[in-house]
Each structure stands twice: as C-alpha cells, then as structure tokens.
C-alpha cells in the first residue's frame, strides 16, 4: 500500500447501546463515575444518547450511552452492545479518500457533523465485493481531531 496521508491518533470514543440507557447510566455514571456532558437525539440516526466523558483535555475519551428512539427502526443502536469505536484522525478527508482508493467500505452518509460537533464518518462493519476491507463486524467511527488533540497526540 502507498504511504498514508493521515495518522490515527488514539481513541476518541466508544459507544454502548442498550434497549434503555438507564441501566447503562447506573454502571457508567453512578458506579464508574463518568460525567454526563451532553445529550444527543436524532430521528435520522434513531438514537437518544447521553455523552459521558472520562479524562481531561486531549486525553478525554467519550463513552456514549445509546438507546433507540424506536426499537423497531434502523439503525438498531441497541442490537450490538458495543455499538462502535471512534478513532481520532488528523486529516479526515485525506483518510477517507485514501481508504476508499484502497478498498475500504464506508457506511452511507459521508463526512458529516457528529454528536460532539466534530466531523465524522463511519467504516462499515461488513465488506462488499466492491470494497473488500471493512470493520469485520465492528462499526468504526473516524473523527476529525481538533488542533489541541493533534498537538498532544500527534
């Protein structure tokens, strides 16, 4: 493969899904002590999620606790308990272009603003004939790192 025009800098988030995020909050917030910093609701993504954090500054990691708005609709954010892993990337457009050219399959939607306000896109969990490289069952979110994260982790 050719040299990569981007770097993966670290874990930005993990997202955990369940039928009711109340049980998830009991563990992640009440027992483990994470701080709830926001809530994101999207009809398009069929999700009601609490955005929690652990750590500080560029080393802060999000743990998103997700439940579906409608358990009968897709995406079924509760069907896999570990919904996705988010990775900081220093140049998201370059990463997407390079990965696409090298056979990586992306989920529909392209680069867009995510729940935390960063540009994001997703590597599809399943490969296809056209795009033989995928997450092998894991949805992977690529997140454009802000300058302070690039400086600290790059």
**Residue 60: predicted pLDDT:** 93
Strand ranges (E), 19-147: 35-42, 47-54, 61-67, 82-89, 112-113, 119-123, 139-144
Distances (CA, A) of 10 to 29, 53, 88, 121, 129: 23, 15, 5, 16, 30
**pLDDT tens-digit map of 87-118:** 999 999 999 999 999 999 999 999 999 999 99
Fold of 8-153: 2,3-Dihydroxybiphenyl 1,2-Dioxygenase; domain 1 (3.10.180)
Map out the domains of the chain as residue ranges.
Answer: 8-153
pLDDT digits (tens, 9 = 90+) for 120-140: 999 999 999 999 999 888 899
Q: For the segment 12-67, what is each residue's pLDDT rounded down to a tens digit?
A: 999 999 999 998 999 899 988 999 999 999 999 999 999 999 999 989 999 999 99
Whole-number average pLDDT of the chain = 94
pTM: 0.83
């Amino acid at each position: 493969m050719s040299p990569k025009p981007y770097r993966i800098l670290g874990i930005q988030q993990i997202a955990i899904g369940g039928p009711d995020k109340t049980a998830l909050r009991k563990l992640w917030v009440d027992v483990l002590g994470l701080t709830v910093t926001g809530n994101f609701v999207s009809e398009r993504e069929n999700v009601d999620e609490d955005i929690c954090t652990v750590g500080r500054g560029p080393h802060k990691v999000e743990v998103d606790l997700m439940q579906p708005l409608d358990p009968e609709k897709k995406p079924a954010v509760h069907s896999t308990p570990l919904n996705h892993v988010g990775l900081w990337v220093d140049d998201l457009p370059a990463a997407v272009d390079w990965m696409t050219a090298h056979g990586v399959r992306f989920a529909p939607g392209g680069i867009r603003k995510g729940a935390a306000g960063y540009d994001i896109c997703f590597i599809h969990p399943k490969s296809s004939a056209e795009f033989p490289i995928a997450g092998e069952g894991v949805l992977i979110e690529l997140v454009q790192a802000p300058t302070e994260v690039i400086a600290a982790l790059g």
